[in-house]
Structure 1
Amino acid sequence: MRLPNLKLGLTEGSVSPRDVPSACTERLTAVAERMGSARVRRSARLMEAIEHHALALHFGERIEVLDICAEPHQELRVWEEFFPNADVHGIYSKNADSIHCDVPENTDVSQRFGAEFWADMALQRSPHLIISDGRLSHCQQLELFTYLFPVAEPGGVLVFEHRGRSGKSSADDENVLHALLYKIVDSDFDSSSLLAKRDDFLGYCARNIAAIEYIECGVVIRKRIFEQHKFTARPLSALAEETWTVDEPSTYSRVTPRIFGSTVMDQRTRDLIRTLGARPAPEGQVGVISGVTVLDGGIVITSDGHVIEESFINARHLSRRGSLFRVGVSEIYVSERSISAQQTLVGDTYAIVKQTWDSNFGHWLVDTLPRVANLGERFPLASLKFVLNGAAQPRIRDLHTEGLGLFGINADQVEFADWRPIFVEHAVYATPMTIPPFTKSPHAISILEGLVSRCSPEVRSKFSGTRRIYLTRNKYPRRNLVNEEDILPDVLRAGYEVIAPEELSLEEQIALFASASHVIGNMGAAFSSLAFSPSCVKVFVLATEFMLHDYFYDLVCHKNGEYWALQGTAVGSDLDIGSDFSVDANVFRELLVEFNR
């Protein structure tokens, strides 16, 4: 694919390079010619474009240049002359032998310039100017761009020449990098576009490319200017001042699900069980850390440039993780917006229990709340204050404080923090005991089961006995069961109570599920309260054809119960996991009879 001849993101009447303060009074083209640069012989126009975009670089400050080229000595001298305060580094593209990196001579070229190579380079460098002479394959160029564009300094410039590894022009060849750039050009650099909202690398580019200039022999890309920091992720045990293990890794048995209405979903669930079913739940740890910043999603960064890896819970499948973006498949992360703390918590010791997706009742209940008990293993809970998600809806915040109250934590111990970064002087952190969506520690479930006895006697007496319950979601704005009225008569005749869980307090939900022997309903977060259900509970979920059976199926495994599911058919224009849906009422009726035996 070939880009049109575009010059985007450039300001009319830009300052001439001659007007920029610099120790070098020559134009870049003149310097390159004087140094015998092969690049300027290939295209003086390319050198002019590089100079134009490099206006954003501060000539008086120290900058870093990385040049991937076949004639490193001549080309590096050009940058040393033009940027007198530059740190200039070169990589020999002809045989991938790096001048500044230890690359074995007998390493295959594709391996030398593969993801691992560029990830190592991204860890070492944050260049202001990156130039590749086009000798790498198109896929290698894309790998370079994937790893080095995110770590390049804001305002930095990346240049890719159109040359095959033989040196012959290859601008008309299929080029995956250009295909990516074309999509960004097509979005008109609109930060509110659907492309910019994506969580993947394409979305990162759409948000952070300020200009693309395509010329006959290459493409010049300029990064927008913003506050950027680079981090590496490490486990709590490597970052905390002191850690304690409060829950050892453990495994548990899986029950066999019965899934109807979709052979595809049935097979996908069985594949999940086969690949992840024996994975042990993670070790539960508690650690003391000082001087940390808590970002949106509860991501915790330390003062020495690390991220607590466990704080990525519920975000590990994403490249864009709150304010941070993952570089390729490495453990390197860069910020996309300011992470300067806008609030400071000092004096007291704060437990950080904020996390990604904790505005969802189920993820907060199962992934977060049990960690409070682990903190209590090492610290008197009355001596701590707790950082929670203040961006959650008021109803969810009430459930959060009610849950903490079951551990004896008062409302005045709670600090609700929204999406803005918050600095914590003295903190304690408990690692998650779950790997969503398919693995949960038996200890975490045991902690939740223990909350049943902490409910008030009045609530427990209200929901005493053995019950059959049907959970409706039809008071929610999404994923409604549109033909629920067709199945409710059968449900009621079978002795089920119709429950809207959102109308109950947390204590009432706990006591309700603790008394439920049979649970049927439209699959959603309310099923997370199965954690309180008795052993051998029977569960029958109704779901769209897009809903996987993982999170709630896993809870049933902890109960050694039965898990039944009927896949329905989504309705509406945008068909996805949130769509309204219907189920076959006749099939449901037949299954209900068998389920109740």
Structure 2
Amino acid sequence: MTQPVGTEAPARGAGRNLNLTDLADRYGSDKGSRKHRYTELYHMLFHPYRQRKITFLEMGLLIGGPEQGMDKDRETADLPSIRMWLEYFPKAQIHGLDVSDFSWFSHERFSFHRCDMDDRAEIARVAAAMPSPDIVIDDASHASHHQQNAFLEIFPKLAPGGLYVIEDLRWQPESYEQEGITKTAALLRSFIDDRRFSHADSAIAAAFDALIPQISACIVHPVRYQKQRRDQVAVIHKR
């Protein structure tokens, strides 16, 4: 049987007990043990979803891009985390969103959406074009306003009981980060501490506050339990 373009045959012995960190390391994703170790948390959170027919969205599909000084029209030749998710979730429909072009990747369970996170209207268009996601991971530019644009447009579409994840809370790219905007980490911390969102822009604070009835829980996880590290992850659970 011929494998779809960009995929590999599952590892021998792969099945219900497949470990996500092992997959990340095999496919070269920075979410695994070689760098961030996010997959240690994700395996615990996502394992109950593994054999379900879920909709999964990841924003930001390959290291590099304008946030690291590369042209958005750069040539792309790999999708490590998407290949990882396709194997980890064998029944899921996987959606990918990025400012660069990954339309060359072909798989019957993968859909690509090209989108500029600076434009909330574009994000809203993408959200409207896909089913309600059960899991969302924001690993895009990491600019605070991009993270907040995405959350305001996509979290309302998240399925009840779904999980919304924001990676790398303590790293923002100088090329994109806007002066004076409240950092997403601080925005989420204000909700955790006070049950309301505090933001330098009162309109953004109000937009986030309007979503509070939909939020069941919000945690900020310091990976490796080192609070000063950049690799911190937020997980927001929808009611």
Do these two structures clear the TM 0.5 threshold for a shared fold by scoring above it? yes
1:221 and 2:235 are equivalent in the alignment: yes
For residues 127 and 181 of structure 2, what CA distance do their matches in structure 1 show? 26
Please tell me whether the aligned partners of residues 156 and 223 of structure 1 are also in contact (alpha carbons under 8 angstroms). yes
2:133 match:
127
For residues 98 and 180 of structure 1, what CA distance do their matches in structure 2 show? 31
Q: What does the per-residue CA deviation read over 1:5-60, in whole Å, with 9 as the maximum and x for residues that have no partner?
A: xxxxxxxxxxxxxxxxx94322211111111112223211x2222222225x5333
2:3 match:
none
1:28 and 2:20 are equivalent in the alignment: yes
Please tell me whether the aligned partners of residues 35 and 77 of structure 1 are also in contact (alpha carbons under 8 angstroms). yes
**Once the 2 structures are TM-superposed, how far is the Cα of residue 205 of structure 1 from its aligned partner?**
3.0
Give me the TM-score of the superposition, normalised by structure 2.
0.64
Residue number among 46, 49, 56 corresponding to 1:58 in the alignment: 49
Q: Which has the larger radius of gyration?
A: 1
For residues 154 and 26 of structure 1, what CA distance do their matches in structure 2 show? 26
Q: What does the per-residue CA deviation read over 1:382-437, in whole Å, with 9 as the maximum and x for residues that have no partner?
A: xxxxxxxxxxxxxxxxxxxxxxxxxxxxxxxxxxxxxxxxxxxxxxxxxxxxxxxx
One-letter amino acid of the counterpart of residue 53, structure 2: R
For residues 42 and 140 of structure 1, what CA distance do their matches in structure 2 show? 23
**Once the 2 structures are TM-superposed, how far is the Cα of residue 127 of structure 1 from its aligned partner?**
1.4
- Report the RMSD for the aligned CA atoms in angstroms: 3.1
1:212 and 2:219 are equivalent in the alignment: yes
For residues 172 and 183 of structure 2, what CA distance do their matches in structure 1 show? 14
Please tell me whether the aligned partners of residues 127 and 153 of structure 2 are also in contact (alpha carbons under 8 angstroms). yes
Q: Give the 3 Å change call, closer, same or farther, for CA 207–134 of structure 1 in structure 2.
A: same
For residues 215 and 233 of structure 2, what CA distance do their matches in structure 1 show? 16
Aligned to 1:42, the other structure's residue is in SS state coil
Q: 5+ unaligned residues in a row in structure 2: which ranges?
A: 1-13, 63-77, 104-111, 197-204, 223-228
Aligned pairs for 1:58-97 (under 5 A) are 58-71=49-62, 73-92=79-98, 95-97=99-101
Q: Give the 3 Å change call, closer, same or farther, for CA 98–208 of structure 1 in structure 2.
A: farther
For residues 211 and 53 of structure 1, what CA distance do their matches in structure 2 show? 13
**Once the 2 structures are TM-superposed, how far is the Cα of residue 120 of structure 1 from its aligned partner?**
0.8
For residues 183 and 56 of structure 2, what CA distance do their matches in structure 1 show? 24
**Once the 2 structures are TM-superposed, how far is the Cα of residue 139 of structure 1 from its aligned partner?**
0.5
Aligned to 2:80, the other structure's residue is in SS state helix
1:185 and 2:199 are equivalent in the alignment: no
**Once the 2 structures are TM-superposed, how far is the Cα of residue 199 of structure 1 from its aligned partner?**
7.4
**Once the 2 structures are TM-superposed, how far is the Cα of residue 70 of structure 1 from its aligned partner?**
4.2
Please tell me whether the aligned partners of residues 134 and 160 of structure 1 are also in contact (alpha carbons under 8 angstroms). no
Please tell me whether the aligned partners of residues 58 and 97 of structure 2 are also in contact (alpha carbons under 8 angstroms). yes
Aligned length: 181
Give me the TM-score of the superposition, normalised by structure 1.
0.28
Aligned pairs for 1:301-340 (under 5 A) are none
Aligned to 2:150, the other structure's residue is in SS state helix
**Once the 2 structures are TM-superposed, how far is the Cα of residue 212 of structure 1 from its aligned partner?**
1.4
2:162 match:
156
**Once the 2 structures are TM-superposed, how far is the Cα of residue 76 of structure 1 from its aligned partner?**
0.2
**Once the 2 structures are TM-superposed, how far is the Cα of residue 207 of structure 1 from its aligned partner?**
4.4
Please tell me whether the aligned partners of residues 134 and 164 of structure 1 are also in contact (alpha carbons under 8 angstroms). no
One-letter amino acid of the counterpart of residue 55, structure 2: E
Q: What does the per-residue CA deviation read over 1:176-222, in whole Å, with 9 as the maximum and x for residues that have no partner?
A: 32233122201369xxxxxxxx9743242364132313324122323
1:593 match:
none
1:590 match:
none
Which structure: greater strand fraction? 1
For residues 62 and 222 of structure 1, what CA distance do their matches in structure 2 show? 21
Aligned to 1:101, the other structure's residue is in SS state strand
2:148 match:
142
Aligned to 1:39, the other structure's residue is in SS state coil
2:108 match:
none
**Once the 2 structures are TM-superposed, how far is the Cα of residue 91 of structure 1 from its aligned partner?**
2.1
2:36 match:
43
Aligned to 2:49, the other structure's residue is in SS state coil
One-letter amino acid of the counterpart of residue 237, structure 2: K
One-letter amino acid of the counterpart of residue 36, structure 2: S
**Once the 2 structures are TM-superposed, how far is the Cα of residue 128 of structure 1 from its aligned partner?**
1.5
Q: Could you list the structure 1 runs, at least 4 aligned residues long, displaced by more than 4 angstroms after superposition.
A: none
**Once the 2 structures are TM-superposed, how far is the Cα of residue 101 of structure 1 from its aligned partner?**
2.6
For residues 219 and 134 of structure 1, what CA distance do their matches in structure 2 show? 13
Residue number among 88, 94, 113 corresponding to 1:101 in the alignment: 113
Q: Give the 3 Å change call, closer, same or farther, for CA 137–213 of structure 1 in structure 2.
A: closer
For residues 207 and 97 of structure 1, what CA distance do their matches in structure 2 show? 33
Identity over aligned residues, as a percent? 23
For residues 116 and 136 of structure 1, what CA distance do their matches in structure 2 show? 19
Aligned to 2:53, the other structure's residue is in SS state coil
For residues 116 and 96 of structure 1, what CA distance do their matches in structure 2 show? 18
Please tell me whether the aligned partners of residues 135 and 166 of structure 1 are also in contact (alpha carbons under 8 angstroms). no
Please tell me whether the aligned partners of residues 180 and 202 of structure 1 are also in contact (alpha carbons under 8 angstroms). no
Aligned to 1:85, the other structure's residue is in SS state coil
1:114 match:
119
